[in-house]
Amino acid sequence: MTKNLSIEDGKHAVYGGCILGGGGGGMISEGLEKVEQAFQYGAPQLITAEELEENDSVVCVSLVGAPSAKEMYLSENQLIDTVQRMQGEYKQPIKALMTNENGAATTTNGWLQAAALNLPFLDAPCNGRAHPTGSMGALNLSEVEDYHSIQAFAGGKDEKAVSGIVTGSLRNVSDTMRELSVKAGGMIGVCRNPINVKYVKKHAAIGGITQAIELGEILLSSLEGSERIKAVVKYLNGEIVHTGEVTEFSLEETGGFDVGEVIIDDLELTFWNEYMTAEMNEQRLGTFPDLIMTFDARTGMPIVSAEIEKGQKIAVISVPKSELTLSSTMSNKKLLQVIEPIINKKIIRKDVKR
């Protein structure tokens, strides 16, 4: 059913998306700013996949880069330009836009472009949680033999400004986008991988935008503090695994990613933009794509990995992947195994709590 989105929906989508981002997916401030920008062009329309024909073509819009990058720059015109470049390159009409993932800044990826170009926005993110690599948000197109990826990009300012189109194998083009984000100062906007609605129905996180909006409303309507966190884990059917003070925190920006770890008493979290593992006393409490997320224990508000500081009192939640709305990519072992050498932890394993 078509829904004209409101500013309030946008606010809820940002906060709910932040939780579903699992430590990545951008900053809340960035997401709220994007929502305000989008509604300057009008109210985006949210539609379901059932409202389109199965052979209709849709495209994904995303942000690629490291959330902590200090020189990142991405304008409204650059975002719109990526969709216009894609439509100029692709022979079939684009019937709707979709985002690559849920996150504070990514759930609403495409709302601005949709409003500006009078295109509907699909209630089917490529993944219902945030993820580190482009291939994880590419609907398992990596498994489609000889798939030809088309990706339009723009970002950066002054001498760092880049824009254009890259085509080729999905892996090569996705890796190129990551490299371009570094050259652009840390972040680029991308419009990528036209695909038909029939394929979307099989591989995307159907209803993932609505879920983010509902989750954000639950968070913001709950009492400040622990009640907010309890309301979130109840909705997601997860649990609070620990509350304590951050005793150690490390973050390194490398290759367009934020990589590091957080120590809260005896609990260790690793992250590659998103939280990858949670372990306490050698027991694994969560493993990506399980949702691991941090909250300010005082206010109950979500905190992404790049914003963690030593001395903060935070609560950590874990939600099993079976309770999440996920893409088919989150069951693809080849895509998940690339995480292991980055964080030096096993991801494909059986000895987990759930």
Strand partners, 284: 279
CA dist., res. 171 & res. 168, Å (int): 8
pLDDT per residue as tens digits for the range 303-335? 999 999 999 999 999 999 999 999 999 999 999
Q: How many separate helices (H) and strands (E) can be counted in the chain?
A: 10, 16
CATH of 3-208, one of 3.40.1610.10, 3.20.20.70, 3.40.50.300, 3.30.2130.10: 3.40.1610.10
Whole-structure pTM value: 0.92
DSSP 125: -
- For 32-41, 59-68, 160-169, 234-243, which range has the lowest pLDDT when averaged over its residues? 59-68
For residue 283, what are its two tokens?
Answer: 């027991």
Does residue 64 have a pLDDT over 90?
no
* Token output for 320: 């099993």
pLDDT digits (tens, 9 = 90+) for 99-115: 999 999 999 999 999 99
> What is the enclosing helix (H) or strand (E) of 167?
strand 162-168
Indicate whether 125 pLDDT > 90.
yes
- Would you give the end-to-end CA distance of the chain in angstroms? 36
Nearest-10 crossing angle of helices 208-221, 7-21: 100
Rg (CA), the chain: 19
Q: Sketch the domain layout of the chain as residue ranges.
A: 3-208, 225-343
